[in-house]
Amino acid sequence: MAKRLAEVARKVGVSEATVSRVLNGKPGVSEPTRQAVLTALDVLGYERPSKLRGERARLVGLVLPELQNPIFPAFAEVVGAQLAQRGFTPVLCTQTAGGVSEADYVDLLLAQQVSGIVFVGGLYAEEDAPHDHYARLAARHLPTVLVNAAFRDLGFPRVSCDDTVAVDQAMSHLVSLGHTKIGLLIGPPDHVPSQRKLAAAHRIGARLGLTLGPDSIAHSLYSLEGAQAAAGRLLEAGVTGIVCASDPMALGAIRAARRAGLAVPRDVSVVGFDDSALMNCVDPPLTTVRQPIEPMCRMVIELLLAQIGGNGLTHDELLFEPELVVRSSTGPAPLVRQS
């Protein structure tokens, strides 16, 4: 008990006596200080006294699938900053291979009495993944927002980048440069955003007079190494332009082209997706479709706070339009490879 009092007191910057008064429900402590003490208990992993457990902490879980893809830290930075401006503390939960699962994080956050949870690119986007933990959140009516497409309506507000518009922008750009053999490098077959991109590519290809055969489509994990292997198969099929489902995948495609003795963009043009950090600094600077992170995150916070405030919400998916950013990884179609 003494150790707990000392740690919480140091965390908040108050006396141990003040912490004791909060834990015992005694008067003489300002409301901001009381909330700071309760938040410190949650952050340090101490269980609240039973009489205080009914109060939700001003904590919000932020669950990400990884940090290696720079788009996820970008979302975390903006969501975290906006939460802090509203008086909430973000609790970052990042999955690792063989480590804590998304379901485990949900249990942890529920135990910490969080006010809500924001998921970015979670298992809800994978048809074949376990989804029971989302049902637990729905049953508890815990305020929750999902960023990017879910495999079905799980009963939570959703904020997504418009995959159809993204593919349209990328393919139309390549066609304007004279490319007629375009490949699509996307995520696993059960990944909903990738399914949307694939369906859009078929519709848009038909409109643009292109045919996307099986050898023009490659699935990969969202990693540079996996994308490099998958892109190699597209290059063997003779594509001169590759539309990728993420920036790291695009970097993998560029590496595959170079391993095949091809130059980007002289022989092969590559388009990424996200416009994540430093994509203007790679060689060549990457043409990519930019996700509108700032407006998407503002909407995420509005939806979350509305739920916390007890306001009813529509569960319709809110789509945000991306923007094509043209740099140096795309160029005119090579006449030799088009023949």
Per-residue model confidence as pLDDT tens digits over 171-188: 999 999 999 999 999 999
Same domain, 152 and 197: no
Binned at pLDDT 50, 70 and 90, residue 189 comes out as very high
User: 60: which strand partners?
Assistant: 90, 116
CATH code of the domain covering residue 198: 3.40.50.2300
CB pairs under 8 A, 24+ apart, for 3-12?
Answer: 4/44, 4/46, 7/44, 8/37, 8/40, 8/41, 8/44, 8/46, 11/40, 11/43, 11/44, 12/36, 12/37, 12/40
- Claim to verify: residue 177 and residue 29 sit in the same structural domain: no
Shared-domain flag, residues 33 and 149: no
Q: In the chain, pLDDT over 90 holds for what percent of residues?
A: 71
Q: What is the pLDDT of residues 192-233, one digit of tens each?
A: 999 999 999 999 999 999 989 999 999 999 999 999 999 999
Domain count of the fold of the chain? 3
List, for residues 38-76, the tens digit of each pLDDT value: 777 767 767 666 565 555 668 999 999 999 999 999 999
pLDDT of residue 241: 98
Q: Can you spell out the DSSP letters for 293-320?
A: HHHHHHHHHHHHHHHHTT-----PEEEE
**Domain shared by 211 and 329, yes or no:** yes
pLDDT band at 166 (very low <50, low <70, confident <90, very high): very high
What pLDDT shows up at residue 212?
A: 92
Based on the domain organization, do 150 and 205 belong to the same domain? Answer: no
Same domain? For 157 and 242 the reply is no
pLDDT in tens, 130-151: 999 999 999 999 999 999 999 9
Across the range 25-31, mean pLDDT stands at 84
The predicted pLDDT at position 146 comes to: 97
Work out the average pLDDT over 159-168. Answer: 98
What CATH number does residue 46 fall under? 1.10.260.40
pLDDT at 336 exceeding the cut of 60 = no
Q: pLDDT by residue (tens digit) across 247-281?
A: 999 999 999 999 999 999 999 999 999 999 999 99
Asked if residue 36 and residue 10 are part of one domain, the reply reads yes
Do 68 and 125 fall into the same domain? yes
Domain check: are 284 and 296 in the same one?
Answer: no
Least confident of 81-90, 169-178, 309-318, 327-336: 309-318
With contact defined as beta carbons under 8 Å apart, do 258 and 284 qualify? no
- What pLDDT does 339 receive? 38
Residue 16, domain extent:
2-52
Both 230 and 299 in a single domain?
no
Burial class for 208, CB neighbours closer than 10 Å (0-12, 13-18, 19+): middle
pLDDT of residue 33: 87
Task: Let me know the angle formed at the C-alpha of 189 by 119 and 161, rounded to the nearest 5 degrees.
Answer: 40
What is the value of pTM for the model shown?
0.83
Q: What is the DSSP string of 207-263?
A: HHT----GGGEEE--SSHHHHHHHHHHHHHTT-SEEEESSHHHHHHHHHHHHHTT--
The per-residue pLDDT for 224 is: 93
CA 194: distance to chain centroid? 14
Q: Please, are residues 16 and 6 in contact by the beta-carbon 8 Å criterion? A: yes
Q: What is the pLDDT of residue 72?
A: 96
Question: Is the per-residue pLDDT at 338 higher than 50?
Answer: no
Report the mean per-residue pLDDT for the chain.
91
Q: Does residue 174 share a domain with residue 218?
A: yes
At which of 32, 52, 72 does a domain end? Answer: 52
The rounded percent of the chain whose pLDDT value lies above 70 is: 94
Buried b (16+ CB within 10 A) or exposed e, 251-274: bbbbbbbeeeebebbebbbbbbbb
Same domain as 267, residue 196: yes
